[in-house]
Structure 1
């Protein structure tokens, strides 16, 4: 393509010789030559105009191609962000206990704990988070919910999601949680709708409505009500019933409202969350409302440099006529708790970053739990866990020494009346992928 400016310069350079030649022509010939020059000038201007329009069109086409390419790259990036990632873990467990003579004689037992699969990711504007766990004796869904970011502060979650109650996300550091977990007041997951206000202006708020537990409540179509990850009420317990037996009268929670408020303070290297949690719901026997239940907690979670301190006071009440004991279920077992009780927890932890071969982080902790003022007049439950956790690449390990009385999985029950204190040394090794 000939550029318009070069064409104009060529014609202009030729003009002086043409003008000089006109000096030897008569007036008529000069007029004819002037007319021809004028026509040539018009033709040149028209040609320049066409060439200019063509150049502008080509530039516009190139711009459009650049925009299209950028949009294609953006779309490809967005598509690459979409999708579900699959992860999980395989865990094994060693235990040596004071309450199992066979275990002591064998020098402890080393067993398969679980295999789990995690699903998380985003499709469009909706994110997914789910976890399924496979044990030797059961398969359970711990969580499965979709989430949508309503705005920069609020997120909505729908499905089996964690009930916002107490120190978040855990009121413990060890493998066994605190005693609150066995009351259904720590790391509990139910089926409902949760609104989470993320931290802003020092405070955050969670508000949830849970229609029923993760197994569908009183009419959930499951073969065994104890095949679940979280502890939930499964029945009323008569005074003469076996505390480990299947309850005669089935019950389940329904229509529960939950609210958790946290206020954050920062003073130098000290950060603290002060919080209050409350929940209230109904109990159903399959035909009618049989009662209601409530719980509340005051909690503190404070960090200073590598130290962490957690404090929590909780109280709960199941209000069912003539009932002082409630049947609960999880991990393939029935157990019992008092219909009303209080609990207190004190947790202290220290994080130590290290470089010991593959080990990059060690956390030392001591977690103390106490459940007292039980309405069924059973003895106080206590549990103290001293231990540490190790992070080494894809391996994560808990090493715990547990000292407890009337504590599930440490030789007792929340409704037990033992005066004996039992011990358990436990190592849980997990490979996470």
Structure 2
């Protein structure tokens, strides 16, 4: 898709400055979106920036039988994409699907939809998300079909996906998507690979139950796919298994997940790394490892002055790699989110080691062999006006 011209985007941004509220086109169709800003503070790298983050448009459709949803994002010109000339130079779909409801308990979705794996919709309370999002196991949408059935306390979801999302607009060879997926490495990625993921099968089974005072969900997920290497012309496999727990007791919330991921690529070089990409960049991920996630949150009741919907949370994720010479990746986030009039705001302290997105650790190698062998810190704030 071509970048949105600046003259086209200006009226759009002006329209977004109108009072909040999605536009109901009719009884079934709503059009909405958001404009977001970000604040990055990292004294170690002398970064202190207030920047445009993203603008996105959404559409949702819901009738007695037919359903659907779409979301398209625009980035560019501002940090960390200040190497581009204008907003829209980087843009891609997050999801775009249509569905049919057989009845109140069964439906099918076709198109670019979220894969049913692990904790849903996210593996924690954080805006920045966990390490699962950068090894392709959290907040991921692929092109295919998904079946959902709710039977009493049981929820079953099955998906077959032909491949990851189409590449949108950007500068990367394989990272022009929202969701982190197996990708063609850019030239700057040392030991990068060129694998295409195909025939992705995903299944998730979860049960709601009461454990003491905790309203809980316990579930298990499985994923398997083909990794076809474009250089060797041979195919390997990607397999992942996960078990999760979600609990709510009054204002307290707990989320736990353990995941095993094993990739056996047929790279012409090392089989210990697979290149992934998203948000206009590509990087290496260790082929085999375990992902652990723990999240604790507390919803503060009522209002605090002008603030409402206040949540505080802590989230820890660990990517424990099989290869003994690789350094494990860790991410710890303390944060809060809340509403201020028509704004939704998240403020998070990011603390990471061998994490490509925190501090000055290596972007291309942190999730593989490792990056800077020290804990990196930065403060991140996202401010969104949603309509």
Measured against the shorter chain, the TM-score band is: 0.7 to 0.9
Q: Is the 8 A contact 1:394 1:432 kept in 2?
A: yes
Whole-angstrom CA distance in 1 between matches of 2:340 and 2:200: 40
Q: What pairs up with 1:24-173 in 2 under 5 angstroms? A: 80-82=26-28, 84-100=29-45, 102-103=46-47, 108-122=48-62, 125-136=65-76, 137-173=89-125
Superposition pairs for residues 269-348 of structure 1, below 5 Å? Answer: 269-286=213-230, 288-321=233-266, 322-348=270-296
1:371 and 1:246, CA in 2 relative to 1: closer, same or farther beyond 3 A? closer
2:152 is aligned with 1:213: no
Question: 1:390, CA displacement in angstroms?
Answer: 0.7
Secondary structure at the counterpart of residue 265 of structure 1: strand
User: Considering only CA atoms, is the larger Rg found in Structure 1 or Structure 2?
Assistant: 1
| 2:386 is the counterpart of 1:432 | yes
**1:303 Cα deviation after fit:** 0.6
User: How much has 1:99 moved relative to structure 2?
Assistant: 4.4
Q: Distance in 1 between matches of 2:167 and 2:352?
A: 33
TM-score with structure 1 setting the length: 0.74
Which residue of the other structure, out of 290, 308, 332, is the alignment partner of 1:360? 308
- Aligned residue for 2:322, secondary structure, equals coil
CA displacement, residues 95-138 of structure 1 (integer Å, 9 cap, x when unaligned): 111542x31xxxx1111100010011136732220000000141
- Describe the superposition over 1:297-347 as per-residue Cα deviations: whole angstroms up to 9, x where unpaired: 111001101100011111111112451111111111111110111111110
Q: Of 170, 182, 185, which residue of structure 1 is paired with 2:137?
A: 185
The number of residues matched between the two structures is 341
CA 1:405–1:267: 2 relative to 1, 3 Å? closer
Deviation at 1:364, TM superposition (A): 0.3
Counterpart of 1:8? Answer: none
Rounded Cα–Cα distance in structure 1 between residues aligned with 2:43 and 2:324: 27
Listed one character per residue, the Cα deviations across residues 149-200 of structure 1 (whole Å, up to 9, x for unaligned) are 01231110000000111111110111210111100000011000000112x3
Partner Cα separation in structure 2 for residue 214 and residue 149 of structure 1: 24
How many Å separate the matches in 2 of 1:394 and 1:116?
A: 17
Q: Distance in 1 between matches of 2:229 and 2:96?
A: 26
CA offsets 1:388-432 (integer angstroms, 9 cap, x no match): 001234311111011110112103221224321100111110110
CA RMSD of aligned residues (A): 2.5
Change beyond 3 A, Cα 1:274–1:122? closer
> Which stretches in structure 2 are left out of the alignment for 5+ residues?
1-24, 77-88
Q: Which has the higher strand share?
A: 2
Distance 1:203 1:119 in 2: 29
